[in-house]
Each structure stands twice: as structure tokens, then as C-alpha cells.
Amino acid sequence: MSRDYYETLGVSKASSDADIKKAYRTLAMQYHPDRNKGDKAAEAKFKEINEAYETLKDPQKKAAYDRYGHESYKNASSGGGGFHNRGFSSDDFSFDSSSPFSDIFDEFFNNRSERMDMRGADLRYETSITLEEAFRGKNIDLKIKTNISCKACRGTGSEGGARPKACPSCRGTGKMRFSQGFFMVERTCTACNGTGHIIENSCRECRGAGRVGTTKNISVSIPAGIEDGARIRLSGEGEAGIRGGNSGDLYIFVSVKPHKLFRREGSTINCDVPISIITAALGGDIEVPTIDGKKAIVKIPAGTQSGNIMKLRNKGMTIIRSTMRGDMMIHARVETPVNLTKKQRELLAEFDTENNSHPQSSGFFSKVKEFWQEL
């Protein structure tokens, strides 16, 4: 996904409005859902193109975007939450008619309450843990590059923390009203960019932004029993807002690596265990590893078949936010011996002269007989 609206449309900051519009139309035609039925990638691209154009076609939004940068602008314009974009569906799509009338309406309805919400960006961090760590839970210490509130100006952006002055152009409302033909048009104040106040002396530490870049240490506890793909939200641990706006959130995405012995299904641990023909036929005890790093003894009953399952109660995964554990399932894989000695071959041949009971074979061959008779 492009991180920048200009990049999305393949234009530069210096491109004219006409060039931006042309680039948008070309791309919108190319990725339009009607031409790319069922293509999710094209659909996502189409939304991105629309979102980018929505901002770049509007001089005020474009100015705000250039001024605050992609992340801050997106958070502000989507009302917080860097993860949800403003909802565009393909139904919202229409080529803009460019009539002056529609432009006035557009401004009147869209810009009337558009005051920049200066919420900080959400941060996303991904971590990958082992199944054993998911079983026990884990504390991780993160070093996160982020923006924090500027100490020098206490986040106000004005030197020494002085209170910003109300914007004289809009008298602190963030909006300008004037009449245009029959309409009273309200637009975002360009002097203060809709914030309603101006800073006379910008803080030297943060150049007026009210926040500074830093590396923050955060300790996160991943609960025992966490599922692969789970998301942990740390409220307010994202980037500081601009000039006193609310902080964003920090999201930790946890993936659990596949294990070489165990397959997890929720709180159940599955393990395939090879069993010799002899143990399978005569029965016996075998030792199996468990997810807690210990061992368990499994009783193999005489006559065990490949695929039979033995259950070990409470030897599975931790059930999240509890002290309970799921079960462990041992899947028997009866193994045929290879590289037999002459003596072993003779013994097996002798063994085969006795009349053995093979439950699967007798069932199978009686079905084969029926099958032939029915033809």
C-alpha cells in the first residue's frame, strides 16, 4: 500500500490540478470494480485511488495534507484510528461533474465542520513467538520509534508553553464564512488551518508541532494461551497528538510459529506418534513429550490401528485468561519395519502361516466381494 497520496496517483507535489485529475481518471478507469470483477487487489487499489483523489482535488484538504503529512492527516480525517479508512465502497464512485454548482455544494456540506482532529497516529508492531511461549505467556520489551508530547512547550507548540492566541482571521472558530452567489459558503480558515488558534512564537524544540520524535521502551505482557493472529491493544501508547490532541493506540500483532512436534487446534494439542507393529499388536506403554516440556506415559491398547487417537486430559494448551488446559491427542502412526534380517523375514513368514485376525482387511474384502456381486 502506498504511504503517500501523490505516490498513489503517480503524480508529484508540483503537478497541476488538471494533471492530478487526469492521473486519477486514468487509474480509476483501470481499476474500476466493473472492469475487475472479483479482483480484491484491484478493489483495494481503487479505494486507495479514490481516497487519494478525495484529498488532492480539494485545495484546503491538499494544503492540510502537505502540512501535516500522511499519517497525521489520515488519522485526523478518519476521526482517529489509523486502521480504518474513511469508508469508500465502489457504489460511492462517480466521476465528478466539475460544475461550479456541485463544487459549492461539496464545500458547503463537506467542509462545514472540518476542523482538524489532532489525534496521534496508531502504531502497529508485529511479533512472532513459539508455541511454548504461547503456552506459558511472555513478557516482551519493545523499543518503539514514536512521537511524544514536547516537554519544552508542554505539547502546546508555542515557546515556553504560552497559550496559543485565538486566530484573528476566524476569531477562533476555525471557519470562514462568506457569500457566493445565493449561497453562504463556509470553509476552513486558511490562516490557522481550521485549528482556531495561531502560535506567535513556535517552540524551538519541536518547531511548533508540540511533539518530538523519540524511542520509547514499552513492556508488554502476552497472555498464556494467546492464539495465532491475536491483536493486543495498548490504549494511548501510540504517537502523541499534535498540539495536545489525544494519543493514538499501540497494536501488537502476535503470530505463533508452527511447531515441529505439535499441531494446535484452539486449546487442543495434536501429536503424531510412530508406533511399532509389535507395540500396536501387543499393546504397551510409550513416552510422549508434552507442551509444558515434560513427558507423559501413554498406554497403547493391544490391537491399536494407525490413526487411532489416545486422549491425554489437561495436557493441551493453556486456555487464555484461565488456569485450565485443553487436552492432548496422540495420533497413532503404526510403522512398518524396514531392512529386515534374514531371521526376521523367516519369523514373519512363519507368523503369517497362523490364522490372524485383521479387522480392517476382513471388512474391506467383504465389501469388495459385495461390490463385484452387485455388478
Smaller CB distance to Zn ion: residue 173 or 267? 173
- d(CA 166, CA 143) in angstroms, rounded, equals 38
Minimum gap (Å) between residue 290 Cβ and Zn ion: 55
Cβ-contact 206, 150 below 8 angstroms: yes
Give residues with Cβ within 8 angstroms of 44, minimum separation 6. Answer: 1
The three cell numbers locating residue 106: 461539496
Of the two residues 144 and 162, which places its CB atom closer to Zn ion in the complex?
162
Q: What is the DSSP string of 308-337?
A: -EEEETT-SPBPTTSS-B--EEEEEEEE--
Q: Give the nearest distance from C-beta 166 to Zn ion in angstroms.
A: 8
Pick the closest to residue 139 from 218, 222, 216, 254 (CA basis).
222
**Sign of dihedral through CA atoms 24, 25, 26, 27?**
positive
Tell me if 109 sits within 8 A of 235, measured CB to CB: no
CB of residue 58 vs Zn ion: minimum separation in angstroms?
18
> What are the residues binding Zn ion (CB under 5 A)?
150, 152-153, 167, 169-170, 189, 191-192, 203, 205-206
Which residue, chain included where needed, has cell 503529512? 69
Helix (H) or strand (E) holding 186: strand 183-188
Is the Cβ of residue 6 or residue 68 nearer to Zn ion in the bound state? 68
CA 51 vs. chain centroid, Å, equals 20
Give the Cα separation of 314 and 208 in Å (integer): 58
Structure-block grid coordinates of residue 61:
484538504
- The least distance separating Zn ion from the CB of residue 164, rounded to whole angstroms, comes to 11
Task: Rank residues 62 and 138 by Cβ distance to Zn ion and give the closer one.
Answer: 62
Nearer residue to Zn ion within complex by CB, 117 or 327: 117
Question: Measured from the CB of residue 115, what is the shortest distance to Zn ion in angstroms?
Answer: 10
Nearer to Zn ion, 23 or 189 (CB): 189
**How far is it, in rounded angstroms, from Cα 277 to Cα 198?**
84
Alpha-helical segments (H) within 89-130:
100-110
CB of 207 to Zn ion, least distance (A): 8
Question: Nearest approach, Cβ of 218 to Zn ion (angstroms)?
Answer: 23
Query: In the complex, what is the shortest distance from the CB of residue 181 to Zn ion, in angstroms, rounded to a whole number?
Result: 24
Least distance (Å) from Zn ion to the CB of residue 174? 6
| Residues in Cβ contact with 66 at an 8 Å cutoff, skipping those fewer than 6 apart | 13
Considering the complex, state which of residue 15 and residue 169 has its C-beta at the smaller distance from Zn ion: 169
Q: Pick the closer one to Zn ion by CB: 56 or 153.
A: 153
State the Cα–Cα distance between residues 76 and 174, nearest whole angstrom: 15
Using CA atoms, how far residue 305 sits from 133, 187, 342, 343, 373, in Å, is 33, 78, 27, 26, 29
- Nearest to Zn ion of 21, 62 (CB atom): 62
